[in-house]
Structure 1
Amino acid sequence: MPNVKRLIHVSALNSSPQPEPHFISGGSNFLKTKYYGELAVREEFPEATIIRPAWMYGVVDRFLWYYCQFYRRSFRKLAVPNGGYGITKTPVCMTDVAAGIVNAISDEESVGRTYDAVGPRRYELRELLEFMQELINKVPENGGFRVTNIRWDPIFRTRVTLYSYLSKFIYRDPKVSWEKIEREAISDEKPLNPTLQDLGVRLQYIEDLWPDMLSVWIHEGAYSGDTGEKKIYSNPPYILDH
């Protein structure tokens, strides 16, 4: 590509030729294609900058809204791999990733480098989901949803299998699928490459952003409190700062 001065390729964190399998034999096909995509880009354009984002969140996204939609829940249960225990994630705001991409264009040190675009903190998946439930006022104490192990929810597993099957004929991007559940089960790898902070990005925290991003999902949210009243949430415990 002789006329291309800078190439920024967006891949994915955890990309691997042999991802650890959990629900799909052979592991996530998505992560395999991301790995081989990186190799293909490097072969054709060695000077490319590769950005590998963790789960990205934002307004009307495919992370926060994914877990709030009805198709991801069943009978007051939110079923996830292993109940969310022992699975760690480093969610990153999509605007932070966008800022990193823009900064990389003019940063000569980013030429030919790979960046792990992770958020500033690592959390257990269960803690993230319970925090999300609290923000939208759908905790079990209010008749909301319990975070459970997907292996104990045969109805939801049947739904996932149906959507996965229909994706071959109808849905190119199904609402739920075993491929998505497979990636839920994988803990985000610890950064081995430079991060967005090395591109000059000041990372944002979920504790500051999620309350507003999820406000549309608040159960009985028409009442927002008296003037000057602000609800205090219990921030999820995090495992470490990056």
Structure 2
Amino acid sequence: MMEGWQYGLLLNLENKLPTRALHDLVTLPGQKPVISYGPPGYSASLAAPGFLGRYLVSKLARMGTQVVVPYRDEDEKRHLKPMGDLGQIVSMEWDIRNEGQIAECLRHSDIVYNLVGRDYETKNFKFADVHVTGAERIAKRLVHVSHLNASANGEERVRSVFPNVTVVRPATMFGYEDKLLNNMATWPIWWKLNFGETKIRPVHVIDVAQALANLMSTPQLTRTVSLPGPSTLTYEYLLELVASVTYRAPSRAPVVPKPIALAVARAAQMAWWPLINPDEVERRFIDDANVPGDWNVVGVCPDEVENHAITYLRRYRLAKDYPRPVLFPARPT
């Protein structure tokens, strides 16, 4: 999903010339020498500091691609440097409102991944400034990452500028740094809105990153690609799943009525880092769109959330519960 926009979560990629270097040769003791995987050129990657971006970069690092990362905060892109070979990760300071800086970031690119987004507004940037106006300024061979439930306004503005754009719509993603399983383990009360009956189709962030990386080697798609998870689940089931993995009793907090939740969220907007915002409260009452997935188009088979829950939630167990087995709850019929 779109996040980290103010740090320039825009992946700008340029294929290298068909040459090899000495460091492409890998020799391991007792094994035959091998040449590094990927198209000819330096093995390189670049990830923006957001959730999806870093996983996409880990995929692109093996594909011989030079990546330019626009950023606003110097500290938020440093961890990306070791993901590629020397000179392959290029950081460029930018402002999404400055068309000159955008043009400079994109001018050598063969493909652009627009992952720019945030799930709450700030005093400097409203949703429309980022998801509509900002997206409208970015054009090339463009892959615009939206969301399964997103309004089409931003996508239509992008298409008006660049008709050949590929719009990718993943569902809510889970992973190590996610805002789904981690928040359920720490703030379960906000996921009980709507009595936990809201239906979502969670998808693994690594599957989405692989799908985006696969677009590098496919013909340009002038269409919308939907990437929902393989199963439709309720928040209630996911809360039970989190409790079963962490061995923590499910939250007994009462369900907060929507008007009260909205009032708390509006008050939280005054904080520098709000725990929840009004838009999130509204999303807790919206089922994920019931549309068919296009995973066959990108050559990926999405995985179930249960297969990865222990990996991302074991850290929330007490020491005495750490080695205990996982007993998943029964899925609702």
TM-score scaled by structure 1?
0.71
Partner of 2:147 in structure 1?
Answer: 12
Distance 1:116 1:88, change over 3 A: same
Q: Is the 8 A contact 1:59 1:213 kept in 2?
A: yes
State the Cα deviation string for residues 170-193 of structure 1 (Å, max 9, x = none).
43x52212211211111001115x
Partner of 2:232 in structure 1?
Answer: 122
* Unpaired runs of at least 5, structure 1: 17-34
Q: Matched residue of 1:190: which SS? A: coil
CA–CA separation in structure 2 for the residues paired with 1:107 and 1:42: 20
Tell me which of 215, 222, 225 is aligned to 1:112. Answer: 222
CA–CA separation in structure 1 for the residues paired with 2:173 and 2:265: 23
1:102 matches 2:213: yes
1:211 matches 2:323: no
TM-score scaled by structure 2?
0.53
Q: Is the 8 A contact 2:265 2:281 kept in 1?
A: no
Distance 1:123 1:166, change over 3 A: closer
Partner of 1:199 in structure 2?
Answer: 298
Q: How does 1:170-181 map to 2 (within 5 A)?
A: 170-171=271-272, 174-181=274-281
Tell me which amino acid in the other structure corresponds to 2:327.
Y
Q: How does 1:44-63 map to 2 (within 5 A)?
A: 44-63=161-180
Root mean square deviation of aligned Cα: 2.7
Tell me which amino acid in the other structure corresponds to 2:275.
K
State the Cα deviation string for residues 22-71 of structure 1 (Å, max 9, x = none).
xxxxxxxxxxxxx21101111111111111111111002111112222xx
Partner of 1:187 in structure 2?
Answer: 287
Distance 1:201 1:148, change over 3 A: farther
1:132 matches 2:242: yes
CA–CA separation in structure 1 for the residues paired with 2:264 and 2:235: 25
Q: Matched residue of 2:232: which SS? A: strand
Q: Matched residue of 1:214: which SS? A: helix
Partner of 2:203 in structure 1?
Answer: 92
Partner of 2:257 in structure 1?
Answer: 151
CA–CA separation in structure 2 for the residues paired with 1:236 and 1:92: 19
1:43 matches 2:128: no
Q: Is the 8 A contact 2:244 2:326 kept in 1?
A: no
Q: Is the 8 A contact 2:199 2:233 kept in 1?
A: yes
Q: Matched residue of 1:164: which SS? A: helix
Partner of 2:266 in structure 1?
Answer: 164
CA–CA separation in structure 2 for the residues paired with 1:182 and 1:236: 28
Aligned length: 198
CA–CA separation in structure 2 for the residues paired with 1:205 and 1:147: 28
* Unpaired runs of at least 5, structure 2: 1-102, 111-140
State the Cα deviation string for residues 82-114 of structure 1 (Å, max 9, x = none).
2112x2110001111111111122211x51111
Distance 1:88 1:165, change over 3 A: same
Larger Rg: 2
Distance 1:78 1:40, change over 3 A: closer
Deviation of the 1:148 alpha carbon: 4.7
1:224 matches 2:322: yes
Q: Which has the higher contact order (CA 8 A, sep 6+)?
A: 1
Tell me which amino acid in the other structure corresponds to 1:204.
D
